[in-house]
Structure 1
Amino acid sequence: MPLPFLTADRDFDEVGEDLALPFADRDQWRRPYRPGPWRVGAAALLLLLASYVLFAAVIIAAAGNASGGMVCLVLAAVVIVCAMRLLRMGAWVSAAGLRRVRFFTTSTTPWAQITVVRTVQQPVRWLGLPRTVQGQALVLIRGGHSGDEPTPLLTTHNADFMGRPEAFDRAADGVEVWADEYRQRA
């Protein structure tokens, strides 16, 4: 089964430097980078846990406890949904705007409301935990509101780019190219 959210930058690999945005359908939401090994590893562990819980559901149901089997089945379904949501987290772009997908929320900002998207040196959260370390972040600054804080989209220490600074640079450049092209059109 193809998983298109895992092969987000295949078009970047196949197309040379002559096209800044090598996608034919720019209205489709896409992530301009691949999920990192920390994110994929965590999702794989969650899916492994779900397989054990599903196996337990079968054993419990075969033993004659249908309600206990159903509880395990629902628990496994919740774990699978969490793993899929974990894989979808990140920054997504399209002609409509820039979308920031988090575990529980998703926010979309149209290109017309974006003042600038740039990379800055600042304290960033380590793997999304409260601990901060010095790193780089790709931040989104919205226009029109004087009190808006810069919103970090990507950081060098999140689950996608931990230990992969060149992947962060490539992803940040990709998002900045989308922002430059579509902010001019808006």
Structure 2
Amino acid sequence: MPLPFLTADRDTRSTAEVMPPAHEDPERWRRPYRPGPWRVAGAALLLLLTSYLLMSTMIIAFAGAPSGAVVCAATALGVAALALRLLRVGVWVSSQGLRQVGLFYTVTLPWREVAAVRTAQQPVRWLGFPRTVQGESLVIVRTTGAGAQGQPQMRSEPLRPLLTDHNADFLGRNPAFDRAADVIEGWAAESRPAPASV
């Protein structure tokens, strides 16, 4: 069974090679980098916990406590869903736009609403924990409304940075972060509509 949340373009591709070939569906959402070892290890631990919960469900059911078995099974399904969601967290791109997938939210922007995609040096969270360290993140700024001349205005606050060099995908893998940021910037440059001439 294919697992689309694990598929990604090869890290060795250049920015010019990341746009989908003619035979591929350009509207298919793709994450242009592989999930990092920390993210995969966290999901594997959650799935291991799921197996223990399912085993407990069976033992509780055989012991004659159906209500406890139902609670344990529901908990196991919730932990499994959390593990799969953890693997989907990141930035996804397609010809339709850019999508930020967080653990409990998803933000999808069409390319016309993406004002800027750039890297910036700033405090970032270490593996998503409250502790922050100085690092690099991919900043996505979106447009809002129209200005006096009909030009889109930049929103003062960018989207929450999901792509940093200290997150679960790129901790200790700075070259991979640089490649992923270049790829997403390349998608933005290729897919954003050209500004209207006045």
TM-score by length of 1: 0.91
2:142, 2:154 within 8 Å by CA — same for their partners in 1? no
C-alpha distance in structure 2 between counterparts of 1:64 and 1:28, whole Å: 47
Q: Distance in 1 between matches of 2:122 and 2:51?
A: 40
Structure 1 CA distance, aligned partners of 2:26 and 2:49?
37
Aligned twin of 1:28: 28
Whether the 8 Å contact between 1:140 and 1:153 is mirrored in structure 2 is: no
Contact 2:114/2:192 (<8 A) preserved: yes
Tell whether 2:157 aligns with 1:157: no
Report how far residue 68 of structure 1 moved: 1.1
Cα shift readout 1:108-160 (whole Å, capped 9, x = no counterpart): 11110111101111111111111111111111111244552122241001111
**Greater per-residue helix proportion:** 1
Superposition CA RMSD, Å: 1.9
Answer with 51-60 or 18-27: which moved more. 18-27
Aligned residue type for 1:51 = S
Given residue 148 of structure 1, which amino acid in structure 2 is its aligned partner? S
TM-score by length of 2: 0.86
1:25 counterpart SS class: coil
Aligned to 1:140: 140
Indicate the percent of aligned positions where both proteins have the same amino acid: 59
Q: Distance in 2 between matches of 1:115 and 1:90?
A: 19
Could you give the per-residue CA deviations for residues 67-102 of structure 1, whole angstroms, max 9, x where no partner exists? Answer: 111111111000000001111110010111110000
Q: What's the counterpart of residue 172 of structure 1?
A: 181
Cα–Cα, structure 1 residues 178 and 147, in superposed 2: closer, same or farther, change >3 Å?
A: closer
Q: 2:18–2:32: 8 Å Cα contact kept in structure 1?
A: no
| Unaligned 5+ runs, structure 2 | 145-152
Q: Give structure 1 regions of 4+ aligned residues with deviation exceeding 6 angstroms.
A: 15-18
